[in-house]
Amino acid sequence: MLRTLLPLLALSGAAALTCEMVWLRRLTLATGSAGIATTLILALYMAGLGIGGVWAGRRTWRMAPGEYGVLELAAAGWTVLFPALLAGLAPHTLPVEGLTGHLLLAAPLLLPPALLHGATLPAVSAALSSKRQIAALYAVNTAGAVLGTLAAAFLWMPLLGVRGTELVAAAGSALAGLAALQLARQRRWQDAAPIQPPTGQVPGRVLLAAAVAGGGAMALEASWSRLAALLLGGSVYAMAVVLAVFLAGVALGAELGRRWGPRALGPALAALGLLAVGGTAAWRALPHGLAAAWSLTGASGQLASGALLLAIAMAGAPVASGVVFSASLQSADGCSPQRAAGQVLGANTLGGVLGAGLAGLLGMPLIGIRGIVLLIGGLAVLTAATLPAPRRQRLAPLVAFGLLTALTPRWDPALYAVGLYNRLGEFVDLSPRAIEDFAHDGWTMRYYRDGITASVAVGESTRTGNRWLSINGKVDASDGADMPTQQLSGQLPLAVAASQPDRPTLVVGLASGVTAGEALKAGADALTIIELEPAVVEASRYFDHVSGAVLDDPRVTLIEGDARAHLLRPGPDYAVIISEPSNPWITGVSNLFTLQYWQIARSRLRTDGVFCQWVQLYALPPRALRSLVRTFLEVFPQAWLFETIPGADALLIAAPSLPDGLPISPTLGPAQLRRLAGPAPLNTDDRPWIEFEAPKWINRPTGSHNRALLAEAQGNAP
């Protein structure tokens, strides 16, 4: 029976994880990708898993393989219907702002399928005779989730889009369900073990260990994800890699815990904390490892080497988490396998809800990524000390934790704030000394904070005094070379709208605040600024000398939140909208470069309004530039392109017409832009292909190629 069920649980794990990735993407498009929204969505899904596990562990499953199959088929059906359910519910919840609105939308959509997914392991466990067999199913189920993560990010979404990936996941669940029903018809489960009602109770100390391991693992995963964004950039691939490495460790640990049995519970929980803290010792060397790998493989090996480096940074802590789960299952003497599976899974995932929520909303901005690791390490070691064991065995991990905390190197944000990952292509010398010089010499750190959604830094050159702001290592503003783009982004659209009697203006993305300040100087009557990351608001104060302290102006309203969510809600129309988010290869930010985003923005623009979109020319494949232009023209057919920094930055400005006397002349007009766009594919929410293609070009010098495209379109226009 076990061998028959293993491939079904692997398929189920792949489908469930793929659904989680797709649904997180869909819901953040509706609720926004602010930290509270993303954390809430993840917490709701995990809560559903836990509730489903507890419920299924208490229910009597008399035809376990068949009933498990019904759960899988129900999950497949919900997956097929999810977009329609979202479309039907969203209009009724969007007017409700804040946490209440997020709950009203996400809870009815996520809790039912999460409950189904959480119930599958306890349900199928009713057909098994031992807890070791359940641990094997859990290990294989998690291994399937690894494959689902990688396939969704690297194969299905780039090839089939979001909806196609969703249907692949539904097909996987349906296939597992139909196979289980066929198994039930053959009545083969009766040969394995008679179905018995669930009995017994997992000891409270065991459930506590499972909960601490689950919560700790989720909090650590949040820290490692941020570390991955700083080390590799915030692309969809970087996020998939860290999740896959994490899940692979959990799967391996679950298999080891199955073999080692209940005696491994206390040592594994202590090891979870010690390994996590010990792994921080490698953080100082990770950028050097990335540079060394680049010297051997170039850009093609950056993700693979990044995965290896992140595995080193995790130091086996996910493996220890998996061991705790399997050992917890086998530590419930007198408890039926099904009841043990339900209670341990429930404790583990509900602990994960707390871990994800506290780390994402409180831990990250209060104590930073290393602080979270130290806190979770200490909690795991302390909890392990409460489990039955000889005194020396309980005290030794506490002493080791103290030594590791004192001896491991302090967090050095300077190595990551400079964005080594997107500068490696410029290096001639990749030696450790060169990397250290790049990261530390010639500038001072003025500000650093691990924010809710990103890590933000402000640095200042000791030679020129140039000050810059970076988000996850990507420099997004400065008071030096970036000033032409920042100033013209505020001046040009207001000058185009000069004939309007009043000009309420919206700026998407605060950064240094220079654009917003220039918009006020150019005549914006009332200015609304939307900024996703609160740490950026703090960092912008270091640019008050060039922004005119824009946040202190009484005409300015600052909204800390998501631009799409704001524009989707009812509100006044704007005369001018200036959209200058970061790069379209960054997951989340990519949502502000799609057809649907520009359609939403147009719906909040006056009929004679002006829309300005910043577009990068560097590190962007030429086909992606064409695609962005074509997608923009699909919504705003009357548009002009202005080069603000040749070969680097451009502005797309949509308006009924252009007045005379603008600060600079357009590079391309409407007809020339259509020629530039050609038959390039549209970039949409369902097929955000630029998000998947552009990260491959981060270290390629595309500015000259894209300038050539502009020159060609300019010269060939009639």
- Identify which has the larger pLDDT, 40 or 615: 615
- Binning pLDDT at 50, 70 and 90, where does residue 125 land? confident
Is residue 35 predicted with pLDDT exceeding 70? no
Mean pLDDT, rounded, of the chain = 92
CA distance 235 to 585: 6
pLDDT > 70: percent of the chain:
97
CA distance 320 to 223: 17
- Binning pLDDT at 50, 70 and 90, where does residue 202 land? confident
- Identify which has the larger pLDDT, 30 or 487: 487
pLDDT at 569: 87
195 contact partners, CB below 8 Å, separation of at least 6:
60, 61, 62, 63, 64, 126, 127, 189
The CATH number of 1-193, from 1.10.10.10, 1.20.1250.20, 3.40.190.10, 3.40.50.1240, is 1.20.1250.20
Is residue 357 predicted with pLDDT exceeding 90? no
CA distance 581 to 545: 22
Helices within 126-203 (DSSP H only):
131-151, 157-185
- Phi first, then psi, for residue 566 (nearest 5°) are -65, -45
pLDDT tens-digit profile of 71-97? 999 999 999 999 999 999 998 887 787
Least confident span in 212-221, 292-301, 434-443, 633-642: 292-301
- Binning pLDDT at 50, 70 and 90, where does residue 534 land? very high
pLDDT at 63: 67
pLDDT tens-digit profile of 310-338? 999 999 999 999 999 999 999 988 788 88
- Binning pLDDT at 50, 70 and 90, where does residue 187 land? low
- Binning pLDDT at 50, 70 and 90, where does residue 246 land? very high
91 contact partners, CB below 8 Å, separation of at least 6:
none
CA distance 326 to 528: 52
Nearest of 587, 665, 583, 457 to residue 152 by alpha carbon: 587
pLDDT at 192: 47
- Binning pLDDT at 50, 70 and 90, where does residue 718 land? very low
- Binning pLDDT at 50, 70 and 90, where does residue 717 land? very low
pLDDT at 700: 86
Contact by Cβ (8 Å): 357, 39: yes
pLDDT tens-digit profile of 684-694? 999 999 999 99
Classified by CATH at the fold level, domain 481-716 comes out as Rossmann fold (3.40.50)
Grouping H, G, I as helix, E, B as strand and the rest as coil, residue 139 is helix
Classified by CATH at the fold level, domain 204-441 comes out as Growth Hormone; Chain: A; (1.20.1250)
Least confident span in 190-199, 459-468, 679-688: 190-199
pLDDT at 66: 84
- Identify which has the larger pLDDT, 250 or 123: 250
Topology agreement, domain 1-193 and domain 481-716 = no
- Binning pLDDT at 50, 70 and 90, where does residue 557 land? very high
- Binning pLDDT at 50, 70 and 90, where does residue 612 land? very high
Write out the H or E segment, with its range, that includes residue 531: strand 527-531
Neighbouring-strand partners of residue 457: 448, 470
CA distance 412 to 549: 30
Domains of the chain by residue range:
1-193, 204-441, 481-716
pLDDT at 698: 87
